């Protein structure tokens, strides 16, 4: 399946920004799951390209001149291989992803929930059951949380969006001693109202990374395009920045994923 991706992030500020730096994880990489046919970033200035600690492609965009707006665009075509997981295990030990963070810290309620559904002799099956029960407990509820809300806060509120589902699932896995990592990317859906930007989890089972998309209650990444991985949202979010000045900020993001060919 070939997917066309169009993604624009538009920042505007109430006052002039004296200096800003944006950290962009907007460039996917080839794997057995996805083949990048074309990919371009359109940026206001040249950005330095490197790899971050997790092996993600990272562009660092620095604007030293006063500005009141920033437009960042990513466009490309990617071919997705059905029923195939990403075979890139990276350079880090999976044990790194047992480390927790403020956003993924398991409290007593999360640990109790995880233990209720986990069976060591059937890890994958029990995590699939846990995923389904988590979605029932935390229905997809746009606008009810922010990116600053932790797993415990979202779990207590019993609502959230994809990053909340992912943070709680990561907290569950790590509390059970299973390495798990946050994944940011895009999702193709025939439903035009579906949000194209997405987040899901990967857990280390049977010596490989396996996908768990809580929001869609699926373990098959057939319509998923991976951008970046990390311990939590802050490590893997597509755009994150710092600035000096500017006053109030307004950020608007528009992302669209369309199929270019129809499977026979």
Whole-number pLDDT of residue 133: 96
User: pLDDT digits over 133-174, tens only?
Assistant: 999 999 999 888 888 999 999 999 999 999 999 999 999 999
How far the first Cα of the chain sits from its last, in Å, is 10
Average pLDDT over residues 223-229: 95
Residue pair 110/155 in contact by the 8 Å Cβ criterion: yes
> pLDDT digit string (tens) for 173-223?
999 999 999 999 999 988 755 668 999 999 999 999 999 999 999 999 899
Select the more confidently predicted residue: 84 or 238: 238
Please name each of the domains of the chain with its CATH number. Answer: 2-81+239-259 (2.60.40.2250), 94-233 (3.10.620.30)
The model's confidence at residue 48, banded by pLDDT at 50, 70 and 90, is: very high
pLDDT one-digit tens code per residue, 1-27: 899 999 999 999 999 999 999 999 999
Enclosing H/E stretch for 16? strand 2-24
Burial zone of 143 (CB within 10 Å; 0-12 exposed, 13-18 middle, 19+ buried): exposed
Query: Does pLDDT of 264 surpass 50?
Result: no
Q: Tell me how far apart the alpha carbons of residues 163 and 184 are, in angstroms, rounded to a whole number.
A: 9
pLDDT in tens, 86-130: 777 678 999 999 999 999 999 999 999 999 999 999 999 999 999
For residue 174, report the phi and psi dihedrals to the nearest 5 degrees. Answer: -65, -35
pLDDT given for residue 134 in this prediction:
97
Which has the closest alpha carbon to 71: 19, 25, 7, 27? 7
User: What per-residue confidence (pLDDT) applies to 195?
Assistant: 66
- Could you give the residue ranges of the DSSP H alpha helices within the chain? 108-117, 123-137, 151-157, 162-175, 233-236
CB atoms inside a 10 Å sphere around CB 233:
22
Give percent of the chain with pLDDT exceeding 70. 96
């Amino acid at each position: 399946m070939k997917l066309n991706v169009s993604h624009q992030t538009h920042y505007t500020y109430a006052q002039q920004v004296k200096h800003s730096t944006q950290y962009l994880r907007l460039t996917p990489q080839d794997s057995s799951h996805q083949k990048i046919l074309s990919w371009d970033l359109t940026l206001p200035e040249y950005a330095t390209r490197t790899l971050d600690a997790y092996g993600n492609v990272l562009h660092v965009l620095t604007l030293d001149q006063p500005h009141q707006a920033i437009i960042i665009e990513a466009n490309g075509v990617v071919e997705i291989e059905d029923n195939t997981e990403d075979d890139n295990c990276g350079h880090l030990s999976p044990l790194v992803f047992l480390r927790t963070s403020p956003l993924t810290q398991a409290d007593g309620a999360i640990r109790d929930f995880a233990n209720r559904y986990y069976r060591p002799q059937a890890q994958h099956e029990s995590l699939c059951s846990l995923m389904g029960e988590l979605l029932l407990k935390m229905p997809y509820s746009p606008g009810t949380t922010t990116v600053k809300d932790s797993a415990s806060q979202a779990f207590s509120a019993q609502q959230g969006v994809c990053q909340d589902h992912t943070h709680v699932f990561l907290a569950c896995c790590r509390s059970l001693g299973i390495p798990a990592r946050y994944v940011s990317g895009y999702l193709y859906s025939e439903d035009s109202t579906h949000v194209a930007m997405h987040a899901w989890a990967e857990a280390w089972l049977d010596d490989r990374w396996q996908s768990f998309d809580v929001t869609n209650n699926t373990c098959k990444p057939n319509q998923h395009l991976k951008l970046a991985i990390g311990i939590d949202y802050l490590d893997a979010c597509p755009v994150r920045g710092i600035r000096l000045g500017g006053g109030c900020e307004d950020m608007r993001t528009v992302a669209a994923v369309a199929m270019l060919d129809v499977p026979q």
